Structure 1
Amino acid sequence: MQVGIENIGRYKHELLEYATSVLQPVAGVRLLGTAIDKASVLSFVLKGYEAEKVGRALNEKSYVRVN
């Protein structure tokens, strides 16, 4: 509650914009659902790979850093 729902929403949108800008130029990546006012969810397909296999591989990775 101290952070504020507006700040959280803005941060999520900024993360979406960043991820979109980084992934758009990658060869073989096709972003899905690129509406301007969409929810902060990034969906994509990777040419030559089954979506389920990509999802499983990403699920096995942990990108969260704990200080």
Structure 2
Amino acid sequence: MGIKPSYIKSLSQELIVKHGNRFSGDFDENKLAVSEVSVIDSKRVRNRVAGYITRKVNRRKEI
């Protein structure tokens, strides 16, 4: 769909390292988890981070 900005990737990687066990393959659950573990004012940025984390988790399951 497009190239993800580096701040989305870096924030997502940081959250996965610190709170990896809180995230699953479900986008809606990850939205809530991102809201709980970080302070992101923008709903769009929160959703993009949650989507990137969801993709990472699902890719990890496939391998």
TM-score (norm 1): 0.27
Higher relative contact order (CA 8 A, sep 6+): 2
Higher strand share: 1
Whichever of the two has the greater Rg, that structure is: 1
